Chain A
Amino acid sequence: MAQVREPEVALADTEALISGSEAIAVACKLADVDVITAYPIRPYDTVMQYVAKLVSNGEMDCEYIVAESEHSQFEIVKHASAVGARVFVGSSGVGWMYAFEALTVTPGLRIPMVAMVGNRALDDPGAFGVEHNDALAVRDLGWMLVWVDTAQEALDTALLAWRIAEDRRIFLPCAIGCDGAFLTHSQSMVKIPIPEKVKEFLPRYDRGDLRLHPDNPITIAPQANEDWVMEIRKQNDAASRRAPGVITEAYADFERIFGRKYGNPFFEEYETDDADVVLLGMGTMSMPVKVAIRKMRKEGKKVGFVRLRWFRPFPTEALQATLGRFKAVGVIDRDYSFGSPYFSGVVANEVRTAMYSAEKRPPVVGFICGLGGREVTVPAVREMTEMTFRAASGERLTDTYWIGLRE
């Protein structure tokens, strides 16, 4: 375990070499989380190992409960949050799917919850490596979904996630997608803010007249049926529509208090200013993609990269404005959506949908790459870039292309 201990009163931000999982554990400590539930599955569970050490060393004051299944793990924090406790939870792959019933009811109940998903391929066949299908499975249910790239971004985004999820205008759960192994287990230097800044940034979680307590005797989640379900669903929709504004507000405050800039909260643009074509993807694939882009730029190829952070809420208008500037877009999915339009991955079809009403609609080429934790290699990125250039020159590439696939 790397060094995270701070002096009694930290006067300035410290820096530590830690993994993405540990960065989120540190965020839990900084956010003074009240209830945390753990259940083992690789690769997310490293975060709970760090949390357990923080608790056993007396560095963190929370109820740390080891559940007997993911279903219970998510149900326990759901109920704790209903009483007004700040909660943290997480899972990976089929573990996340085992909790699916709890995942379904949590946004419906308007329960703020921050979950780390150590993205992992769904069984079977078994694979420990990253695929995004686990977290993406909740995309229609009201969960906010954000993918991060580095340990620093993981720590920062966790703090942002509590701030956004616990905002009364939102009150929805938020899952942070962390690519298994590439982020959960890779260390990098992370700036750890002093607790005072976190206190300023992150107000107390206040459920107000929705808290479950004898002083506030309410009935939560009754049988509503066709009489009221549609109106209640519409309230969830309204919260999802408010989310982009609250996210923008939170990032602006984050920048002001912590001094770290993320620019556009919803996606990162890399070498896009003069780009003819761009690739688009989520998570840690950004590293090989950026390396390949630097090489191709030297060869005079004007290619850029858009790394999508927030998948829910989906930044439709911002993406329309950005992607409309290019001659073609190649979307790299680290997931699959069998039988879907174009047999594409999930992200490619979301991008297509978002662009349909745009004034400028560049062709979208769908790629599936890096499944099961397979590396997205520099040659693979070159291949996808070249195909995207061909689409920019008018070639119809409407199928979905599996890159790095063995014959």
Chain B
Amino acid sequence: MADAIETYPVPVLDPFKGVKKVPLEEYFTSGHRTCQGCESALVMKLMVKAAGPRTIVLGSTGCMYVANTTYYSTSWVVPWMHTQLGSSGSAGLGTAAALKVLMRKGKIPTEPINVIAFCGDGGGADMGLSAISAALTQTEYNFLILMYDNESYANTDIQLSGATPWGAHTTFSPPGKMKRIMHRRWKKNVAGMLAAGHPECKYVATVCASYAVEMMNRVRKGLSIGGPTYIHSLDPCPKGWDYDPIQSHELGEMAVNCGIWPLYEVENHTLKLYGRSRGLAEGRTRRLPVREYLNRQGRFAHFTDDDIDYFQSKIDEMWTKWLVPGVIPFASDLRNDKVPA
């Protein structure tokens, strides 16, 4: 059945060698209504700049749908279509399947067309996880799923999601007189889960738009490697995280430098930490204490010293106890496991 697993051609998208090599053309332009300092809007802009004009973008419900596509003032230069909150995986899959079959049957010219389906953390880490997981097993179709993770349902008034950090103040987890910490769940390790759980998926990466060229090159890799791929972007959100919008970039850098957001890619089953995260893993650079990162954000303003210590201890675990630091949260002791005699 070799014929059955053929896909249409993928584009050649070599990495940009430095910011000066990035094209000037924009495919996500004016007309949107995102907040001042919105990092996710930058992610949209860089994502589609990296992909180029022969791209179809599917956007699931969330900030980047509601704010970006006001009727008659769309900010998308490339074709764009809304998909449901839990449907980014299905949207990417269905679009890619149609392109594939229409090209095979000669109904449209055969050419590389990028398909990107994006979702927020609510759409990806919560409701759409099942569809994304299914989509990542569909190796006959080429598409990228990009999650812009601003760590809450930010469009609907900042409610906690499966990707909201422990203890954060959201409108569904307000600190009160009896309970200081309402949100007692640790953030899901979505990229690690998707990389580990889908052995045929050729590319999973985490990115942060504070490192824009690195981020764009990961998008280019995800689109050109073939098959379904996944990129997870951590996006500081001035409204949801409660900080001065001027600090968005800096907070992204701090998230990486304190180790709470490891940057890595799993390319053809090979894990590689990159950027500052690599230095942290190799012990070349020291992790920034998380206290500085937390103190910048109003959503953690109710934290006591004990809360901060607990938070720090969880991050320490990521780097000292996890089987694959920052990626796979099994205890390192597994390495010493021996088959019973």
- How does the 8 Å CB contact mask read for B89-124 relative to A, with 1 for contact and 0 for none? 111011101111110110110000100000000000
Contact (Cβ within 8 A) A63 B100: yes
- How does the 8 Å CB contact mask read for B246-265 relative to A, with 1 for contact and 0 for none? 00000000000000000000
Kindly state the separation between the CA atoms of A183 and B236 in the bound complex, as whole angstroms.
Answer: 56
Contact (Cβ within 8 A) B58 A214: no
A110 on the B face (CB < 8 A): no
Report how many residues on chain A are interfacial, defined by Cβ distance under 8 Å.
42
Instruction: Tell me whether chain A's interface is mostly helix, strand or loop, or mixed.
Output: mixed
Report how many residues on chain B are interfacial, defined by Cβ distance under 8 Å.
45
Contact (Cβ within 8 A) B98 A69: no
Partner of A75, one of B66, B77, B84, B99: B84
Contact (Cβ within 8 A) B91 A75: yes
Kindly state the separation between the CA atoms of A71 and B127 in the bound complex, as whole angstroms.
Answer: 11
A307, chain B: closest CB distance, angstroms: 35
B142 on the A face (CB < 8 A): no
B326 on the A face (CB < 8 A): no
The answer to whether residues A214 and B54 also contact, given A72-B134, A228-B71 and a CB cut-off of 8 A, is yes
Contact (Cβ within 8 A) B108 A84: yes
A11, chain B: closest CB distance, angstroms: 25
Kindly state the separation between the CA atoms of A209 and B94 in the bound complex, as whole angstroms.
Answer: 19
B86 on the A face (CB < 8 A): yes
Taking CB atoms, residues of chain A closer than 8 Å to B134 are 67-68, 72
The answer to whether residues A76 and B97 also contact, given A71-B86, A84-B108 and a CB cut-off of 8 A, is yes
A273, chain B: closest CB distance, angstroms: 48
Highest count of chain A CB atoms <10 Å: which of B65, B91, B113: B91
In the complex, which residue of chain A has the Cβ closest to the Cβ of B65? Answer: A223
Kindly state the separation between the CA atoms of A84 and B100 in the bound complex, as whole angstroms.
Answer: 11
A78 on the B face (CB < 8 A): yes
In the complex, which residue of chain A has the Cβ closest to the Cβ of B109? Answer: A215
B130 on the A face (CB < 8 A): yes
A85, chain B: closest CB distance, angstroms: 4
A residues 20-73 near B (Cβ < 8 Å) are 32, 34-35, 61-63, 65, 67-69, 71-72
Kindly state the separation between the CA atoms of A84 and B66 in the bound complex, as whole angstroms.
Answer: 25
Taking CB atoms, residues of chain A closer than 8 Å to B130 are 68-69, 72
Kindly state the separation between the CA atoms of A210 and B66 in the bound complex, as whole angstroms.
Answer: 21
A259, chain B: closest CB distance, angstroms: 29
A residues 110-155 near B (Cβ < 8 Å) are none
A349 on the B face (CB < 8 A): no
B residues 12-28 near A (Cβ < 8 Å) are none
Highest count of chain B CB atoms <10 Å: which of A77, A78, A83: A83
The answer to whether residues A80 and B97 also contact, given A75-B131, A222-B70 and a CB cut-off of 8 A, is yes
Contact (Cβ within 8 A) A217 B79: yes
Taking CB atoms, residues of chain B closer than 8 Å to A78 are 94
Contact (Cβ within 8 A) B71 A217: no
A241 on the B face (CB < 8 A): no
Contact (Cβ within 8 A) A102 B87: yes
Contact (Cβ within 8 A) A84 B97: no
Taking CB atoms, residues of chain B closer than 8 Å to A71 are 84, 86-87, 90, 131
Taking CB atoms, residues of chain B closer than 8 Å to A216 are 79
Taking CB atoms, residues of chain A closer than 8 Å to B113 are 213-214
Contact (Cβ within 8 A) B87 A65: no
Contact (Cβ within 8 A) B104 A61: yes
Taking CB atoms, residues of chain A closer than 8 Å to B266 are none
A203, chain B: closest CB distance, angstroms: 13
In the complex, which residue of chain B has the Cβ closest to the Cβ of A222? Answer: B69
- How does the 8 Å CB contact mask read for A180-222 relative to B, with 1 for contact and 0 for none? 0000000000000000000000001000000011101111111
A68, chain B: closest CB distance, angstroms: 4
A227 on the B face (CB < 8 A): yes
Contact (Cβ within 8 A) A84 B90: no
Contact (Cβ within 8 A) A72 B89: yes
The answer to whether residues A222 and B101 also contact, given A68-B134, A71-B131, A214-B55 and a CB cut-off of 8 A, is no
B133 on the A face (CB < 8 A): yes
Taking CB atoms, residues of chain B closer than 8 Å to A84 are 98, 102, 107-108
Taking CB atoms, residues of chain B closer than 8 Å to A9 are none
B80, chain A: closest CB distance, angstroms: 5
In the complex, which residue of chain A has the Cβ closest to the Cβ of B99? Answer: A83
In the complex, which residue of chain A has the Cβ closest to the Cβ of B55? Answer: A214
Partner of A80, one of B65, B79, B95, B105: B95
Kindly state the separation between the CA atoms of A62 and B101 in the bound complex, as whole angstroms.
Answer: 7
Taking CB atoms, residues of chain B closer than 8 Å to A19 are none
B200, chain A: closest CB distance, angstroms: 15
Partner of A217, one of B70, B77, B105: B77
Kindly state the separation between the CA atoms of A72 and B128 in the bound complex, as whole angstroms.
Answer: 9
A3 on the B face (CB < 8 A): no
Contact (Cβ within 8 A) A65 B93: yes
Kindly state the separation between the CA atoms of A34 and B70 in the bound complex, as whole angstroms.
Answer: 32
Contact (Cβ within 8 A) B87 A72: yes
Taking CB atoms, residues of chain A closer than 8 Å to B101 are 34-35, 61-63, 80, 85
Contact (Cβ within 8 A) A34 B98: yes
In the complex, which residue of chain B has the Cβ closest to the Cβ of A77? Answer: B94
A138, chain B: closest CB distance, angstroms: 16
Contact (Cβ within 8 A) A214 B131: no
A82 on the B face (CB < 8 A): yes
The answer to whether residues A220 and B98 also contact, given A68-B131, A75-B91, A214-B113 and a CB cut-off of 8 A, is no
Contact (Cβ within 8 A) B84 A101: yes
Taking CB atoms, residues of chain A closer than 8 Å to B86 are 71, 101
Taking CB atoms, residues of chain A closer than 8 Å to B70 are 222-223
The answer to whether residues A79 and B98 also contact, given A68-B130, A102-B87, A223-B66 and a CB cut-off of 8 A, is yes
Contact (Cβ within 8 A) A219 B76: yes
Contact (Cβ within 8 A) A214 B94: no
The answer to whether residues A34 and B105 also contact, given A76-B94, A220-B80 and a CB cut-off of 8 A, is yes
In the complex, which residue of chain A has the Cβ closest to the Cβ of B137? Answer: A68
Taking CB atoms, residues of chain B closer than 8 Å to A85 are 97-98, 101-102
A403, chain B: closest CB distance, angstroms: 41
Kindly state the separation between the CA atoms of A76 and B65 in the bound complex, as whole angstroms.
Answer: 19
Task: Please provide the 6 A-B residue pairs with the shortest distance between their CB atoms, ordered closest to farther.
Answer: A79-B94, A83-B98, A222-B69, A68-B134, A75-B90, A221-B82
Apart from A204-B107, A213-B79, A222-B69: 14 A-B pairs, beta carbons within 8 A: A34-B101, A71-B84, A72-B134, A75-B91, A76-B90, A79-B91, A80-B97, A80-B101, A84-B102, A214-B53, A216-B79, A218-B80, A220-B80, A227-B71
CB pairs A–B below 8 angstroms (20 shown): A32-B105, A35-B97, A71-B84, A80-B94, A80-B98, A82-B98, A84-B102, A84-B107, A85-B97, A85-B101, A102-B87, A214-B55, A217-B79, A218-B80, A219-B69, A220-B79, A220-B81, A221-B81, A223-B65, A223-B71
A residues with a Cβ closer than 8 A to B are: 32, 34-35, 61-63, 65, 67-69, 71-72, 75-85, 101-102, 105, 204, 212-214, 216-225, 227-228
